[in-house]
Amino acid sequence: MPRYFFHFSDGKHTFTDAAGFELNGIAAAREYATAQIREMRGAQSERGLQNWVAWKMIVVDAKGEAIFEAGFDLNTRSMD
């Protein structure tokens, strides 16, 4: 099963996922990314952080190649 890494950034700060997750393909990685973004937005909204315009999650494969980006507004863009 392929391993995907879920990094996120606001353009100034980048948080990297060193462990990654084994998932059953790109569709599963998109679902996982969407769920993680929703969870992070919910947790941060409780703390008062509401502006997500600059934030995005960059999903890379085990080779370090970007597969897709998902904005925290839940818009996605393929990297191919």
Residue range 67-77, pLDDT digits in tens: 999 888 755 55
- pLDDT tens across 10-47, in order? 889 899 999 999 999 999 999 999 999 888 777 655 55
What confidence tier does 55 reach under pLDDT thresholds 50, 70, 90?
confident
In sequence order, which ranges of the chain are alpha helices (DSSP H)?
Answer: 26-46
What local confidence, expressed as pLDDT, does residue 39 receive?
A: 85
> How far is residue 17's CA from residue 49's CA, in Å, rounded to a whole number?
22
pTM over 0.75: yes
What local confidence, expressed as pLDDT, does residue 41 receive?
A: 74
Which residue type is seen at 67? Answer: I
Q: How many CA atoms lie within 13 A of 80 on its CB side?
A: 3
